[in-house]
């Protein structure tokens, strides 16, 4: 069945370090892909999305490119801040049912 | 302010005592959904609703019920809660279950079943 796999966490970085969180998916067809972020004590909010191959989603300095050939949607940021500490979820979207399939989440801790 | 609200935010109950978690959205969205979040498993869909009076099972529907009598409300009902339903629950909505639609999440309800 369809699934999303993320790298294991927690990821601990120093401020201004480069961030990569890996995400790969399996799907029949070509799903839309999303990154959601969950700050402590809050619900999920959309960080960025891409709807077709080679699309790049970007927001708040984060970027991810939809790579059909490697079935990947890795999240990157050039210089992380303490305020980026959160749990990040990769998700794929089955348009005909409305169901989001989530990865297991990756906790990011950024230290000053 | 456009939002999805859930109540209660925190709940401690005992096995077998029926409970309802409410979810309401003020964005006139057609699509609503319930997820549970468990460590190491991410979020898993419990039930979803494409529109009023239309509901369907997600991946983990056992032990849960839902109803969609009004467009804005989508309550989650646990008729006889068990400890394995201890979890963090999220309600979400989107304009319609289209291919590119973003889902908007509520703040979550943390449930502990003793």
Ranges under pLDDT 70 in chain B: 97-100
pLDDT of residue B92: 93
User: A29 and chain B: CB distance < 8 Å anywhere?
Assistant: no
Cβ within 8 Å of residue A100, ≥6 positions away = A34, A91, A92, A93, A94, B33, B35, B43, B45, B92, B103
CA gap B89, B99 in Å, rounded? 24
Q: What are phi and psi of A2, to 5 degrees?
A: -70, 145
Residue located via tokens 């456009």: B2
The confidence score (pLDDT) of residue A1 equals 75
State in Å, rounded, how far the first CA of chain A is from the last one: 41
Tell me the chain A residues in contact with residue B89 when contact means C-beta distances shorter than 8 Å. none
- Separation of alpha carbons A94 and A80, rounded Å: 31
| Secondary structure class of B85 (helix, strand, coil) | helix
Q: Which of B45, B50, B105 sits opposite A45 (nearest CB)?
A: B105
| pLDDT score of A67 | 95
Instruction: Kindly report the nearest CA distance between residue B17 and chain A, in angstroms.
Output: 26
The per-residue pLDDT for A96 is 65
Residues in B closer than 8 angstroms to A105, CB to CB, are 42
> Based on the number of CB atoms within 10 Å of its own CB, is B70 exposed (0-12), middle (13-18) or buried (19 or more)?
exposed
For testing contact with chain A, the best of B29, B33, B34, B42 (most A CBs within 10 A): B42
Q: State the pLDDT at residue B39.
A: 86
Q: Are the C-beta atoms of A35 and A29 separated by less than 8 Å?
A: no
- Do the Cβ atoms of B42 and A89 come within 8 Å? yes
pLDDT beneath 70: ranges in chain A: 95-98
Residue in B closest to A101 by C-alpha: B44
pLDDT of residue A48: 95
Q: Which residues pair with B35 in a beta bridge?
A: B45, B90
Residues in chain B: 114
pLDDT value, residue B1? 84
Q: Which backbone phi and psi does B84 adopt, to 5 degrees?
A: -75, 0
Calculate how close chain B gets to A15, using CA atoms only, in Å. Answer: 26
Q: Kindly give the residue spans of alpha helices, DSSP state H, lying in B23-104.
A: none
Query: DSSP state, B11?
Result: E
């Amino acid at each position: 069945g369809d699934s999303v796999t993320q790298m294991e966490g927690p990821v601990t970085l120093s401020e201004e370090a480069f961030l990569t969180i890996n995400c790969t998916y399996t799907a029949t067809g070509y799903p839309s892909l999303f990154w959601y972020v969950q700050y402590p004590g809050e619900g999920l909010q959309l960080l960025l999305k891409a709807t077709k191959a080679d699309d790049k989603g970007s927001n708040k300095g984060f970027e991810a490119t939809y790579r059909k050939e490697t079935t990947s949607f890795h999240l990157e940021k050039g210089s992380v801040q303490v305020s980026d500490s959160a749990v990040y979820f990769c998700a794929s979207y089955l348009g005909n049912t409305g169901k989001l399939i989530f990865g297991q989440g990756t906790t990011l801790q950024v230290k000053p | 302010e456009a939002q999805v609200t859930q109540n209660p935010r925190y709940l401690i109950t005992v096995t077998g005592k029926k409970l309802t978690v409410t979810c309401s959205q003020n964005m006139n969205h057609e699509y609503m959904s319930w997820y549970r979040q468990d460590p190491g498993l991410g979020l898993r869909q419990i039930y979803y609703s494409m529109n009023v009076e239309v509901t369907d099972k997600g991946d983990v529907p056992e032990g849960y019920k839902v109803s969609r009598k009004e467009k804005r409300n989508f309550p989650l009902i646990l008729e006889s809660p068990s400890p394995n339903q201890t979890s963090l629950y999220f309600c979400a909505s989107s304009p319609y279950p289209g291919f590119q639609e973003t889902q908007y999440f509520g703040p979550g309800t943390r449930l502990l079943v003793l």
